Chain A
């Protein structure tokens, strides 16, 4: 009891430091953190899938839906409240994930990855070809309000960041609770041996469906938040390279802890910013090299460096 209390205290302290950072850090750094946390939510969903042995090359589908909810609700419905947009975007991606889940829950391995990818590319195609949806230009997103409070300039950046921070913390807490539930424990179990899980009397397909929905809702929330942070949405959000980035961050972060995705995401944004600044033509090469080194030498991601215990049983499967 004492120990879990300590851990909770530590996380609360980390949260307070992050919140304070919003006031202390320069604006570009706050923006970077804001974006990193938003995308961290998407990676958080991938963490749940990854622990189940699934990898989705199509999370950009939900990410983009979330983003476009912000863009279109602002333009057509004159909705600008961040809370409403977040709820709306998350609900819509959740609904889409329920539908998509019926199809993808039957697949594993590469087929799961590819079918997810196909759906995100369909959305990309639709967006690029439809004028009413902004075509290749996408939408600019208006300034969000927060329950009637309409900050501007630097205040907006800070409030928007705090909003993202709160949403990310809520997301991480939800996933943490989920992973402790019976359904949540059916992640590694399914990865290790599906047939035996079925023998236990659990529907593997149902469990995977639930995970797809959870991951989709998280990715949608991430899309809403990053659209609010960036102030613009375009079809690139649905392109497969965006999904690839999320997968990259999942590997970078490791799946040992629900905080890892946010850490990995922040590191990724930093890495990208600096790599892009110093070697604009070779930043992808830096990313690719990093990915290779990670797979070879740090298969459990950077989180395995932080956890003091001897690294938990590796996520690798012996072929």
Chain B
């Protein structure tokens, strides 16, 4: 029983974390058909930004709870700056190229950003553990959980909910759906597609940075943290169906629970259970659980 609860809660926490990290990636893919390898760098920048901001904030000796706001502010700054620079400065010139070429462009951006991190922050680890300790712990039938971890579940629900409302219940969301459905037709109807692209990419970048910023208090922020996150986020997004936000949620849950189960029951498979699940899903349903199929071009 205890194991079941541990798996359930750990799985939910891990799933929430995965969702926060992956949702920006799937949003960008859904609208722009770009598989953004640099998403991992956005995550890493978010984490570094958060660590820096929290560090400055703590030194200033202000009300400790404000450190949480610092995480969000850092994600916003990092995401907007990098998102605008990447989309306006680079990707916009690539839209007429093949999807695979654009993947390589973002891979190049990833390589550049990885070293930019080392140039800005050096190679020593950063810590932003203040918010983590602040929330304390809680016990669920004898098992101790950190409240910060549990708060990730809330964050994931809030972010997912806001995104759902934005896409389905606002004017901006309607425009977005039109662009997803048929780019040329939307242009013909006077939708400013290039602005929709910029906004989408920036929102996706902010979400990626937010994933990193919220992770920063739980880890030591070192170079290379983005590298692993990229493939994790890919796996989640592919499982759910590329470009589908509900898919990303379901994908995160599947991956989160199966990894938690692996950690508690069969630690040997922990590292690759995610990719095993991904392969399994792709074999049965190539387009992912929530993906759409496309007709072949003759």
When distances are taken between beta carbons in the complex, the residues of chain B under 8 Å from A284 are: 111-112, 114-115
A 271-305 contacts with B by CB, 8 A: 281-285, 287-289, 291-292, 295-296, 299
B 269-298 contacts with A by CB, 8 A: 269-273, 275-276, 278-279, 282-283, 286, 296-298
C-alpha spacing A195/B296, complex, angstroms:
8
- With an 8 Å Cβ cutoff, the count of chain A residues facing the other chain is 48
When distances are taken between beta carbons in the complex, the residues of chain A under 8 Å from B180 are: none
Q: Evaluate whether A281 and B272 lie within 8 angstroms (CB atoms) in the complex, with A110-B99, A241-B227, A289-B112 already known.
A: no
C-alpha spacing A319/B34, complex, angstroms:
14
When distances are taken between beta carbons in the complex, the residues of chain B under 8 Å from A282 are: 115, 118-119
Say if the beta carbon of B175 comes within 8 Å of chain A.
no
**Interchain CB contact under 8 A, A121 and B282:** no
Distance of B124 from chain A, by nearest CB (Å):
12
Say if the beta carbon of B242 comes within 8 Å of chain A.
yes
**Interchain CB contact under 8 A, B275 and A122:** yes
C-alpha spacing A240/B238, complex, angstroms:
16
A 120-137 contacts with B by CB, 8 A: 121-122, 124-126, 128-130
Distance of A119 from chain B, by nearest CB (Å):
7
B271, B276, B298 pick with most chain A CB within 10 angstroms: B271
C-alpha spacing A124/B231, complex, angstroms:
12
- CB < 8 Å: which of A130, A285, A292 contacts B116? A285
Say if the beta carbon of A69 comes within 8 Å of chain B.
no
Binds B, one of A14-22, A101-109, A174-182: A101-109
- CB < 8 Å: which of A240, A292, A319 contacts B105? A292
C-alpha spacing A291/B113, complex, angstroms:
13
**Interchain CB contact under 8 A, A124 and B271:** yes
Distance of A301 from chain B, by nearest CB (Å):
12
**Interchain CB contact under 8 A, A126 and B279:** no
C-alpha spacing A106/B283, complex, angstroms:
9
A 209-260 contacts with B by CB, 8 A: 240-241, 244, 247-248, 251
**Interchain CB contact under 8 A, A122 and B103:** no
